[in-house]
C-alpha cells in the first residue's frame, strides 16, 4: 500500500513526487516511457525555459487559460520558489528577454537531472515503461482505491496524483489518457483545443507562396471580432513569420488559442487578423524619414522598417506602381500606404492540430478542483496537476511554471492527506 501514486513523470509529476517524498510519504512514480521528462527535455528548444522572472500579476496575465485559478497555489509555491529550488541545488539560471529563465548550461538535461537526483535522494520509487490503464475508485465512499497497469498489475494507494499531461506531442507519451479517468470520477472535461500552435490560412499571399520564410520583427498582431475590425479581441507585439501554410512565430502562437476559441464559440470558419508592421512608429516620424528620402522608390523607403518582400507586398496591396518614388505619391495614396503598413489584413481558418501545438487548451475543469490543494471536489484522494487541468499559458516558461506549481501543491497535499489517514 502506497501513500501516494503519481502517474506521469513529466514536469508536474516529477515535482509532485519530490514534494510528496519531502513530506515523508511512501511514493510511487509511474511513467510509460523508458525515461522520465521526455517533454521537459525538448521544451524551450531543448534548453528548458524553467520559469519566468516576473510579478505575480504578470505571470497570471500570461496564463490566459484559467491563470487566476493559480492564486492560492502561488501563495504556497511560486516562480521565485522554482528559481530557489534549482539554485539551491547548484543549478545556475540566467534571465533572457521577457523574463524567461533558462539553465546557464542551455541544456534541459541539467534541469531533468536535478529533478531525478532529488527523487533518488528522497528514495522515491519509480517505475518506467509502465502504462497505467485504469484508476479504481470506491464510488460509494467517493474515494480513490488504486491504480491498474495495462499488464493487469493492481497497485493499492491512499492517494493518486494524475500528472499525465494533455494531448500535444503524443510521441512524448501524452496521449490524453487522463481525461477518461477524470470523467470516471465525475469530472467535467472542458473542450480540448490547440494553443500555441501555428495558424493556417487560405490568404492569397500564402497560396502564392512568395512570402514564405519572411520574418517580421516586433510587429503587433491583432485578432478582430469581424471583417470590419469593430473590436480587438487580443493583441500581441512580438516577432512572427510567414510560412507555406500560414503564419507562425511568437506573436501568432500567442494569438492561436484565442483564435481557436473565437472560431468555435461564434461558429465561424474564418478569423480576421491584422499586422501593424511599425507599432512603435508615428505617422509623423514615418513622413519625416520619407521626406528625407523623397526621390527614392516606396519599396526602398519601407525596407527601412521591414523585409523587402513585405515592402513590395504592401505597395502592391495599396495598388501603387512599384517604381513610384515617394515625391510622386498623391495624398490618398499616402493614406492608403500608411493604412496597409499599420493594418495589414490577414485571415486564419484554424491552427495546426492539437498534436502539433505546444500546449493543450481545455481539460479537467478547474471549477471542480480545490485551488489550495489540487484535490478533486468529487473524489477524495484524487489530485490533478499540469497540462491535464484546464490551464494553459503562453510560451515563455508559463506552462512549465504552472506544471511545477500545481505539481508541488498536489504532491504535498496528497502526502499530507495520505499520512493523516
Ligand atoms: C515542443 C514543446 C516545447 C515547449 N516549450 C515550452 C516552453 O518553452 N515553456 C513552457 O512553459 N512550456 C513549454 N512547453 C509546454 C510544457 O512542456 C508542458 O506544458 C509541460 O511539460 C506539461 O507538463 P505535464 O507534467 O503536465 O505533462 P508532461 O510533461 O507531458 O508529462 C506527462 C507524462 O505522463 C506520462 N503518461 C501519460 N499517460 C500515461 C499513462 N497512461 N501511464 C503512464 N504514464 C503516462 C507521459 O509519458 C509523460 O511523461 C512546450 C511543449 C512542447 C511540446
Query: Over 231-286, what HEC string results?
Result: CEEEEEEEEEEECCCEEECHHHHHHHHHHHHHHHHCCCCCEEEEEECCCCCCHHHH
Question: The domain spanning residue 232 has which CATH number?
Answer: 1.10.8.50
Same domain, 55 and 188: yes
Distance, C-alpha 347 to centroid of its chain = 22
Same domain, 112 and 130: yes
Q: Select from 324, 240, 342, 346 the least CA-distant residue to 286.
A: 342
- What DSSP character marks residue 151? T
- At 11-35, the pLDDT tens digits run 999 999 999 999 999 999 999 999 9
Are 39 and 172 in contact by the 8 Å Cβ rule? The answer is yes
Question: Which residues are bridge partners to 6 per DSSP?
Answer: 29, 161
Q: Hey, whose CA ends up nearest to atom 38 of ligand 1?
A: 164
Helix 331-342 / helix 308-317 crossing angle, nearest 10 deg: 130
Q: Domains in the chain: how many in total? A: 2
Q: Is the CB of 403 under 6 A from ligand 1?
A: yes
Domain end point (choices 329, 351, 373): 351
* Unique residue bearing C-alpha cell 516511457: 33
Question: The domain spanning residue 116 has which CATH number?
Answer: 3.50.50.60
Q: What is the pLDDT of residue 36?
A: 98
State which of 29, 107, 399, 410 you would mutate to test the pocket of ligand 1, scoring each by most atoms of that ligand within 8 A of its C-beta: 399
Angle at 33 between CA 28 and CA 39, to 5 degrees: 100
Distance from Cα 11 to the centre of ligand 1, integer Å: 6
Sequence-ordered list of residues with C-beta below 8 angstroms from that of 298, at least 6 positions apart, any chain: 311, 315, 320, 322, 324, 325, 326, 329, 337
Rounded mean pLDDT, 257-283: 98
State which of 33, 34, 164 you would mutate to test the pocket of ligand 1, scoring each by most atoms of that ligand within 8 A of its C-beta: 164
How far is the C-alpha of 164 from the C-alpha of 151, rounded, in Å?
A: 18
Please give the grid coordinates belonging to residue 53.
Answer: 522572472
Same domain, 282 and 186: no
Same domain, 338 and 375: no
Distance from Cα 417 to the centre of ligand 1, integer Å: 26
Query: Using 50, 70 and 90 to split pLDDT, how confident is the model at 405?
Result: very high
Q: Hey, whose CA ends up nearest to atom 51 of ligand 1?
A: 358
Q: Assess whether pLDDT exceeds 90 at residue 164.
A: yes
Distance from Cα 40 to the centre of ligand 1, integer Å: 6
Distance from Cα 205 to the centre of ligand 1, integer Å: 35
Query: Using 50, 70 and 90 to split pLDDT, how confident is the model at 233?
Result: very high
Same domain, 332 and 378: no
Which ligand 1 atom lies nearest to the CA of residue 178? 38
Q: Select from 30, 3, 34, 33 the least CA-distant residue to 153.
A: 30
Rounded mean pLDDT, 310-332: 95
Rounded mean pLDDT, 164-177: 97
Same domain, 207 and 347: yes
Domain end point (choices 331, 351, 371): 351
Output the average pLDDT for the chain: 97
Distance, C-alpha 16 to centroid of its chain = 20
Q: Hey, whose CA ends up nearest to atom 47 of ligand 1?
A: 173
* Unique residue bearing C-alpha cell 494569438: 255
Same domain, 323 and 262: yes
State which of 43, 50, 195 you would mutate to test the pocket of ligand 1, scoring each by most atoms of that ligand within 8 A of its C-beta: 43
- At 93-107, the pLDDT tens digits run 999 999 999 999 999
Same domain, 261 and 317: yes
Q: Assess whether pLDDT exceeds 90 at residue 123.
A: yes
Same domain, 234 and 346: yes
Domain end point (choices 325, 351, 377): 351
Q: What is the pLDDT of residue 322?
A: 86
Same domain, 57 and 175: yes
Q: What is the pLDDT of residue 421?
A: 87
Which ligand 1 atom lies nearest to the CA of residue 387? 26
Are 65 and 392 in contact by the 8 Å Cβ rule? The answer is yes
Q: Select from 405, 150, 374, 357 the least CA-distant residue to 255.
A: 357
- At 179-222, the pLDDT tens digits run 999 999 999 999 999 999 999 999 999 999 989 999 999 999 99
Q: What is the pLDDT of residue 274?
A: 98
**pTM of this structure:** 0.96
How far is the C-alpha of 230 from the C-alpha of 271, rounded, in Å?
A: 13
State which of 67, 174, 256 you would mutate to test the pocket of ligand 1, scoring each by most atoms of that ligand within 8 A of its C-beta: 174
Q: What is the pLDDT of residue 241?
A: 98
Which ligand 1 atom lies nearest to the CA of residue 51? 11
Same domain, 343 and 393: no
Same domain, 174 and 236: no
* Unique residue bearing C-alpha cell 492569397: 204
- Could you please report the per-residue DSSP string of 186-233? T--EEEEEEES-PEE---HHHHH-TTTT-EEEEEEEEEESSTT--SEE
Q: Is the CB of 196 under 6 A from ligand 1?
A: no
Q: Is the CB of 49 under 6 A from ligand 1?
A: yes
Please give the share of the chain, as a percent, with pLDDT higher than 90: 99
For residue 220, give Cα distances in angstroms to 60, 251, 277, 420. 21, 7, 7, 53
Domain ranges, residue 28:
2-194+360-419
Q: Hey, whose CA ends up nearest to atom 35 of ligand 1?
A: 8
Are 162 and 137 in contact by the 8 Å Cβ rule? The answer is no
Q: Select from 1, 57, 3, 9 the least CA-distant residue to 418.
A: 3
State which of 9, 10, 116 you would mutate to test the pocket of ligand 1, scoring each by most atoms of that ligand within 8 A of its C-beta: 10
Amino acid at each position: 500500500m502506497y501513500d501516494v501514486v503519481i502517474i506521469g513523470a513529466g514536469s508536474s509529476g516529477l515535482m509532485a513526487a519530490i514534494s510528496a517524498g519531502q513530506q515523508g510519504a511512501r511514493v510511487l512514480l509511474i511513467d510509460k516511457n523508458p525515461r522520465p521528462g521526455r517533454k521537459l527535455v525538448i521544451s524551450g528548444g531543448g534548453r528548458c525555459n524553467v520559469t519566468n522572472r516576473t510579478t505575480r500579476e504578470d505571470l497570471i496575465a500570461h496564463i490566459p487559460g484559467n491563470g487566476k485559478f493559480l492564486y492560492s497555489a502561488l501563495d504556497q509555491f511560486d516562480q521565485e520558489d522554482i528559481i530557489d529550488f534549482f539554485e539551491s541545488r547548484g543549478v545556475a539560471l540566467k534571465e533572457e528577454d521577457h523574463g524567461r529563465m533558462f539553465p546557464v548550461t542551455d541544456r534541459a538535461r541539467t534541469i531533468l537531472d536535478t529533478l531525478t537526483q532529488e527523487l533518488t535522494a528522497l528514495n522515491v520509487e519509480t517505475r518506467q515503461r509502465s502504462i497505467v490503464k485504469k484508476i479504481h475508485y470506491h464510488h460509494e465512499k467517493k474515494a480513490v482505491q488504486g491504480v491498474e497497469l495495462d499488464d493487469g498489475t493492481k497497485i493499492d494507494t491512499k492517494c493518486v496524483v494524475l500528472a499525465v499531461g494533455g494531448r500535444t506531442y503524443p510521441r512524448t507519451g501524452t496521449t490524453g489518457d487522463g481525461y477518461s479517468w477524470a470523467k470516471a470520477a465525475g469530472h467535467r472535461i472542458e473542450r480540448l483545443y490547440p494553443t500555441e500552435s501555428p495558424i493556417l490560412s487560405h490568404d492569397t499571399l500564402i497560396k502564392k507562396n512568395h512570402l514564405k520564410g519572411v520574418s517580421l520583427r516586433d510587429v503587433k498582431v491583432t485578432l478582430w471580432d469581424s471583417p470590419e475590425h469593430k473590436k480587438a479581441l487580443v493583441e500581441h507585439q512580438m516577432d512572427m513569420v510567414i510560412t507555406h501554410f500560414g503564419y507562425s512565430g511568437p506573436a501568432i502562437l500567442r494569438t492561436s488559442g484565442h483564435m481557436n476559441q473565437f472560431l468555435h464559440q461564434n461558429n465561424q470558419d474564418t478569423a480576421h487578423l491584422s499586422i501593424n508592421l511599425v507599432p512603435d512608429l508615428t505617422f509623423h516620424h514615418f513622413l519625416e524619414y520619407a521626406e528625407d528620402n523623397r526621390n527614392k522608390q516606396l519599396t526602398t523607403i519601407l525596407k527601412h522598417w521591414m523585409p523587402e518582400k513585405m515592402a513590395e507586398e504592401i505597395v502592391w496591396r495599396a495598388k501603387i506602381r512599384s517604381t513610384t518614388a515617394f515625391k510622386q505619391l498623391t495624398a490618398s495614396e499616402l493614406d492608403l500606404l500608411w493604412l496597409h503598413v499599420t493594418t495589414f489584413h490577414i485571415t486564419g481558418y484554424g491552427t495546426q492540430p492539437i498534436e502539433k501545438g505546444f500546449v493543450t487548451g481545455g481539460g479537467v475543469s478547474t471549477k471542480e478542483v480545490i485551488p489550495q490543494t489540487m484535490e478533486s471536489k468529487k473524489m477524495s484522494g484524487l489530485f490533478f496537476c499540469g497540462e491535464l487541468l484546464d490551464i494553459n499559458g503562453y510560451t515563455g516558461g508559463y506552462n512549465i511554471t504552472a506544471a511545477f506549481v500545481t505539481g508541488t501543491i498536489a504532491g504535498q497535499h496528497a502526502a499530507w492527506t495520505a499520512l493523516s489517514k
